[in-house]
Structure 1
Amino acid sequence: MSKLIQTDVAVIGAGTAGLAAYRAARAAGQRAVIIEGGEYGTTCARVGCMPSKLLIAAAEAAHGLEHGKGFGVHIEGSLRIDGREVMSRVRRERDRFVGFVVKGVENIPAEDRLRGYARFVDNNILSIDGHTTVQARSIVIATGSSPAIPAPFKPLGDRLIINDDVFSWETLPRRVAVFGPGVIGLELGQALSRLGVITRVFGKGKSVGPFSDPVIRDYARTAFQEAFYLDPDATIESMEREGDEVVLRYRNLDGEVVTERFDYVLAATGRKPNVANLDLQNTGLELDAQGVPLFDPQTLQCGKSPIFIAGDANNVLPLLHEAADEGKTAGHNAASYPNVAPSLRRSTLAVVFSDPQLAMVGQRYADLKEGSFVTGEVSFEDQGRSRVMLRNKGLMHVYADRSTGRFLGAEWMGPSAEHIAHLLAWSHQQGLTIAQMLDMPFYHPVIEEGLRTALRDAAAKLAA
């Protein structure tokens, strides 16, 4: 017989958004439960942000040693990369980060933690694996997302992997084909290449990373192609499994048909919200083409219902800081239902931890109306501090409103982009103009002086 639990707020999913929603509901003085069917430990800690940065850190160490000759620093003999030691540290530190998250979850009172997979019976009732029924005044969907695997890849069996699988390797393989030069594909593809893995990265439609500015996209493509094999508009003739290998026939960048064998094919072909198994048809909510409930992006409320959706599950901005913000908003509004309020929406900020790094802040180039803005540009190839450090690869575009001079956004590839991105995000959120940004201090010699050059270029075009 199913156990009945009555509560004010039920949160489905104990990831970043779910934990934030639960805490916000409790902070609002409401009863709340959090439901999780999988392992505790967020996507970021277990298979996302943190383990990928651990692999990238190892790759940067290897790259730094190999490229010391530019400074007159030479290694006697050959560089040796121990794949087992690399992956041992990745797993060990990954488990440490996951442990912190799990400890935080376990600090939640036991009666508030429910184990199992939740399905909607109606707008206010959930069934958890048939053993528990939860009746809630409002519900938050925070079920996260999963890698999307195109059908042609599935016959590859265990030779097909996703980013989750990489961080369970005992050692590094010899050859990997990566499909998808987006954030995950670029980060892991470049890292594996620098760690001595024969790596090929394939894409469709010429896209590179998150860029919508064609000039920045093309610059990034050329820069990456100088470092590892990247074809952002690949022609794949065939892909078959033979034994423990994948045989790939493709046209290379010169148009020649090449046959290569790989130990694994890594599908970095996007992610999809985890909503398919929630029985949303029982809620009467209106769904989009991917089966995600339509919702107000400011309040995160689905229609006029007592259901809210936050984090990767809503398929808007799958980033940890966005998930945390959305979880807090969804939890607070669920606790206050039917009185809901718009959330704090910070300026958009995205970083790809490749080398050079990629970044986007504020409005994308593709979102701007032609003729309404000017573009300030800087190349980092001759930027002083960048050249001193032999990290002088990069191109930046900053966008400014033609009529007001307000900073609208930026897209770029360049050194220390993660740090410059924060300066620009703060400036964007405060609504600063290009002139006001140029009034801020710039130390010498720093990479940020490159940003000043781009702002000066924008200012000159505004004046003209």
Structure 2
Amino acid sequence: MKEIQCDVAVIGAGTAGMTAYRTAKRAGQRTVLIESGPYGTMCARVGCMPSKLLIAAADAAHDARRTAPFGVHVDGPVRVDGAQVMERVRRERDRFVQFVVDDVEGFDAQDKLRGRARFVSDHVLEVDDHTRVTARRIIVAAGSEPVRPRELEALGSLLISNEDVFYWTDLPRRVLVIGAGVIGLELGQALARLDVDVAIVARSQSLAGLSDPQVREAARAIWTQELNLRADVTVLGGEAVDGKARVRLQVQGREVVEEYDCVLAAAGRRPQLQGLGLENTGAQWDEKGRPVYDEATLQLKGTPIYLAGDVNQRAPILHEAADDGRLAALQAASSGGAAPGPRRAPMAVMFTDPQVAVIGTPFKALPEGAVVGAVSFVNQGRARVMLRNQGLLHVYADRAGRFLGAEMVGPDAEHIGHLLAWSLQMGLSLDQMLAMPFYHPVLQEGLRTALRQAQSALKTE
């Protein structure tokens, strides 16, 4: 077995792993990057980018169907060619993947190892049966994998995840989506707008990661007008019958049987820690069987090992994964001596229509005495002009008038969310935010309305 000695070993060549590798190398560390699967990152291959390609096609179909209220009439029905849709999704996805692969191919060949890494001890890894790596510090950036419901294992290949969708060569006729989070709602709505018969079920009232009950119910009211979206549904089981997925569900206390071309499992992802051999290290585990790590440094308690990116389940978002990789590498290079530094303002965006954004402190974590400012987009000027007048924004502030966060469903939430995240990171108060320019007529005038309402709530206390 080949022997390698290095300063830092990185397991996983996704966004966190690639960033960790580059950062450690710049810090003068002898670094090894280990990958068992294809290069290209989850985001480029089966996540952010192909999902947005599918959503873009769905938006084009949706927009083409809604011209009549503007007095613009398109002759004949909109026709969706599923094969052409998926051909573009795959073609453009492959371009994004190749950009990443080209980056990895530019790494030093002697630094790259192919194979599955397994811990022998805190400092020693075995890669398949060909290489033993001894490292001063080890960064685990192995990513995550879809959770597949045990109740539906009998469906076999008819039980799919988002990672399967982007290899389709055509669109199916009928799909059941399990989960009303980011993946389930983004893909479910996109497929529905591309003429796929879609049902979305969730086991609870949870929706889109929203904890503010008023914003959540505003989102539900909007989406149930368009989508077959059902909450409090229990998946009882399923079987493959004549090439179809026959699924048993408990809906409103009664059992129903429904048939689909496939079932998309979108009820969450779990860290890819299976088979890594962390039990051979000094890692400690919490009551839920998760490794215990310091969120400030990402270091596994009592070990020279760091968890970076989706594998730590802290914030499964691309820029957060990159930040994790950088932080872990700097910690590893300094043997834990580097100051962790401040984190970016928390933000999450969901690319449904309307979009969802959660910024900073969510409703469920607000301190006592926090005030809420609200705006409905139903009568917001620019939103009505574009016939996109639906949604609700809540902004939160503390008793001193300091902006804390926001939850939103509405038009262009991705852009309003960025303004709010930047304001939060700069530590702005409501007064300072309202002193900024708001052009007319823009959607951001709705944000000004919500900020003013929060400001008024402070003055009336």
Matched, 1:170 2:166: no
SS of the counterpart of 1:350? strand
Output the TM-score relative to the length of structure 1: 0.97
**Corresponding residue for 2:372?**
375
- Confirm or deny that 1:417 pairs with 2:416: no
Partner of 2:383: 386
In angstroms, what is the RMSD of aligned CA positions? 1.4
Contact 2:174 2:198 in 1 (8 A): yes
1:6 equivalent to 2:5? Answer: yes
| Residue aligned with 1:301, SS | coil
Q: CA deviation at 1:76?
A: 1.1
1:445 — aligned with what?
Answer: 441
Equivalent in 314, 320, 327 of residue 329 of structure 1? 327
SS in 1 for 2:120: strand
Shift in CA distance, 293/237, structure 1 to aligned 2, threshold 3 Å = closer
Deviations 1:245-284 (A, max 9, x none): 112354668x886543210000001000011211011112
- Asked whether 1:313 is paired with 2:315, we answer no
Preserved CA contact (<8 Å) 2:394 2:450: yes
| Structure 1: runs of 5+ lacking an equivalent | none
Determine the C-alpha separation between the residues in 1 that align with 2:219 and 2:398: 25
Kindly report which structure 2 residues correspond to 1:209-288, keeping only aligned pairs within 5 A, or say none: 209-236=208-235, 239-250=238-249, 259-288=257-286
* Aligned-partner residue type, residue 100 of structure 1: F
Instruction: Give the drift of 1:304.
Output: 3.6
For the pair 1:62 / 2:58, whether they are aligned, the reply is no
Return the alpha-carbon distance in structure 1 between the equivalents of residues 173 and 259 of structure 2.
10
One-letter code aligned to 2:292: L
Q: How does 1:39-78 map to 2 (within 5 A)?
A: 39-78=38-77
Q: Is the aligned partner of 1:149 residue 2:148? A: yes
Structure 1 Cα separation of the partners of residues 411 and 192 of structure 2: 19
Deviation at 1:439, TM superposition (A): 0.4
Per the alignment, residue 345 of structure 1 pairs with 343
Q: Mean alpha-carbon deviation: is it higher for 256-265 or for 213-222?
A: 256-265
The within-5 A match list for 1:102-113 is 102-113=101-112
Give CA-to-partner distance per residue, 1:197-251, whole Å, 9 cap, x none.
Answer: 0000000111110101111111111110001110122255653321211123546
Q: Equivalents in 2 of 1:289, 1:270: separation in Å?
A: 20
SS at match of 1:41: coil
Counterpart of 1:55 in structure 2: which amino acid? L
Residues 148-172 of structure 1: CA deviation (Å, up to 9, x unaligned): 1121011111111100000000000
Question: What's the offset of the Cα at 1:343?
Answer: 3.7
Residue type of the alignment partner of 2:401: G
Q: Report the CA distance between 1:288 and its aligned residue.
A: 3.0
Q: Is the alpha carbon distance of 1:338 and 1:260 closer, same or farther for their aligned partners in structure 2, counting shifts above 3 Å?
A: closer
Q: Is the 8 A contact 1:275 1:291 kept in 2?
A: no
Which amino acid in structure 2 is aligned with residue 394 of structure 1? G
Would you say the 8 A contact 2:371–2:398 is kept in 1?
yes
- Which segments of 5 or more consecutive residues in structure 2 lack a partner in the other structure? none
Note if contact 2:152-2:239 (Cα within 8 Å) is conserved in structure 1. no
Q: 1:363 to 1:204 in 2, by over 3 A?
A: same
Is contact 1:292-1:314 (8 Å) kept? no
Count of residue pairs brought into register by the alignment: 460
Q: Residue 380 of structure 1 aligns to which amino acid in structure 2?
A: F
